[in-house]
């Protein structure tokens, strides 16, 4: 029984190959052709079966003449030599071609690897470009949204600027009116104050003149009263000294007493006039004080209006600065 891998078909193929090459299909040659596998007994048995069923005549050299056999042998040797030479040439060409193909294959493999690397790089670059495109599209959408928001903000800002301009114009008008009113009030207050001061100064001067006259009159009356008192004292002394002559001078004493009463009455009237003048002086002083207080209140009100005007100017400047700052930040 043949070992694994050796059968009739393989042996037939090996025999035919040897015959085609002009070699004798011996057992050893067939075994070599089969790759040194199989037993010689099995190969011999398969050869017998092949020769038994092969319709072609046997190629035994005994069937030919010696000359023909020699000729055939030489032709066979020559054919084998040429065949071997051609085979060696073909093998050398094949080996060169194989080496060239191997080198070309290595080159193609290297080129393929290079191309694969380039393809990988291109795919990576394409993926990066896709991601960058997505980012750009997202940025574009964001910019579109931002531009729309900025446009809306600009529209709102223009409306607010128009409103602020209207407010500024209104404030400027109010500021102008307030300044004109303040200036008019200052002029009116100054004129009123000057008139009041002039009037009060005139009244005070007149009162001072009247007080001076009354003081002078009072001094005269006091001197007369003093003189009369002295005369009265002198008369009393004389009355004491001339008690005996009292009856004689009764009329004169009564007359002097009447003069004394008149003098006392005049003194009382002078005191009343003095009190009246003092009361009038106090009233005029109070009126002057009230006028001074009125002038002070007017001046204070003018200061308040001035402060209000300065505050309006400050608010106006702050509003303008705020609008300019906001316009600068929006433009950036």
* Distance, CA of 138 to CA of 78 (rounded, Å): 84
Q: Cα separation of 177 and 183, whole Å?
A: 10
The answer to whether position 96 is within a domain reads no
Place of tokens 């070599």: 32
CA angle (155, 156, 162) in 5-degree steps: 90
Asked whether the CA dihedral 220, 221, 224, 225 is positive or negative, the reply is negative
- Residue 66 is predicted with a pLDDT of 65
Q: Which domain holds residue 267?
A: 174-240+250-331
**Structural domain contains residue 232:** yes
Torsion angle of the four alpha carbons 52, 56, 60, 62, in this order, in degrees rounded to the nearest 10: 110
Contact 39, 3 (CB under 8 A): yes
Is residue 163, in this structure, part of any structural domain at all?
no
* Neighbouring residues of 51: CB distance < 8 A, sequence distance ≥ 6: 58
The DSSP letter of residue 64 is S
pLDDT of residue 65: 56
Note the pLDDT of residue 63: 46
Q: What is the pLDDT along the chain (332 residues), one digit of tens a residue?
A: 334 568 889 999 999 999 898 888 889 999 998 888 888 899 999 999 888 776 554 444 444 456 777 787 778 778 877 877 877 787 787 788 778 778 877 888 887 888 888 888 888 888 888 888 889 788 888 888 887 887 787 788 788 878 878 887 887 788 788 678 778 877 887 888 788 778 877 877 887 787 687 678 768 877 876 877 787 677 777 767 766 775 766 776 677 678 778 867 877 886 887 788 778 878 877 887 887 788 788 788 778 878 887 887 888 888 888 878 877 776 66
Q: Flag whether 128 is in a domain.
A: no
Decide if 318 is inside a domain: yes
For position 311, what pLDDT does the model report? 87
Total domains present in the chain: 1
**Residue 277 falls inside a structural domain:** yes
Helix axes 40-53, 8-20, angle to 10 degrees: 70
pLDDT of residue 225: 63
In a domain, 39, yes or no: no
- Which pLDDT value is given to residue 61? 46
Reported as half-sphere exposure (CB side, CA atoms, 13 A), residue 318 has a value of: 6
Q: What is the pLDDT of residues 247-277, one digit of tens each?
A: 766 776 677 678 778 867 877 886 887 788 7
The CATH number of residue 219's host domain is: 1.10.287.1490
Residue 248 has what pLDDT? Answer: 65
Asked whether residue 17 is domain-assigned, the answer is no
**Rounded to 10 degrees, what is the CA torsion of 275, 280, 286, 288?**
-140
Question: Torsion angle of alpha carbons 159, 162, 168, 170, nearest 10°?
Answer: -100
């Amino acid at each position: 029984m043949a070992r694994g891998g050796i059968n009739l078909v393989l042996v037939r193929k090996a025999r035919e190959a040897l015959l085609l090459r002009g070699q004798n299909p011996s057992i050893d040659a067939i075994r070599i052709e089969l790759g040194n596998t199989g037993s010689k007994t099995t190969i011999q048995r398969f050869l017998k079966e092949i020769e038994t069923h092969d319709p072609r005549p046997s190629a035994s050299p005994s069937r030919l003449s010696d000359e023909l056999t020699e000729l055939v042998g030489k032709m066979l040797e020559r054919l084998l030599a040429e065949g071997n030479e051609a085979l060696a040439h073909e093998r050398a060409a094949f080996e060169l071609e194989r080496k060239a193909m191997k080198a070309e294959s290595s080159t193609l493999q290297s080129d393929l690897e290079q191309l694969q690397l380039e393809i990988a790089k291109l795919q990576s670059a394409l993926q990066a470009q896709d991601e960058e495109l997505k980012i750009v599209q997202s940025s574009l959408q964001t910019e579109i949204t931002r531009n729309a928001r900025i446009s809306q903000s600009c529209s709102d800002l223009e409306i607010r600027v128009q409103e602020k301009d209207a407010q500024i114009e209104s404030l400027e008008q109010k500021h102008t009116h307030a300044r004109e009113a303040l200036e008019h009030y200052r002029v009116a207050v100054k004129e009123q104050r000057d008139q009041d001061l002039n009037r009060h100064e005139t009244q005070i001067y007149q009162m001072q003149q009247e007080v001076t006259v009354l003081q002078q009159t009072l001094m005269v009356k006091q001197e007369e009263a003093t003189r009369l008192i002295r005369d009265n004292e002198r008369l009393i002394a004389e009355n004491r000294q001339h008690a005996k002559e009292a009856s004689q001078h009764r009329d004169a004493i009564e007359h002097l007493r009447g003069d004394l009463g008149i003098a006392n009455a005049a003194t009382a009237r002078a005191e009343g006039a003095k009190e009246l003048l003092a009361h009038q002086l106090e009233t005029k002083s109070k009126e002057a004080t009230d006028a001074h207080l009125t002038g002070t209140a007017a001046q204070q009100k003018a200061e308040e209006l001035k402060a209000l005007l300065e505050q309006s100017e400050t608010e106006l400047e702050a509003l303008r600065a705020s609008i300019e700052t906001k316009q600068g930040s929006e433009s950036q």
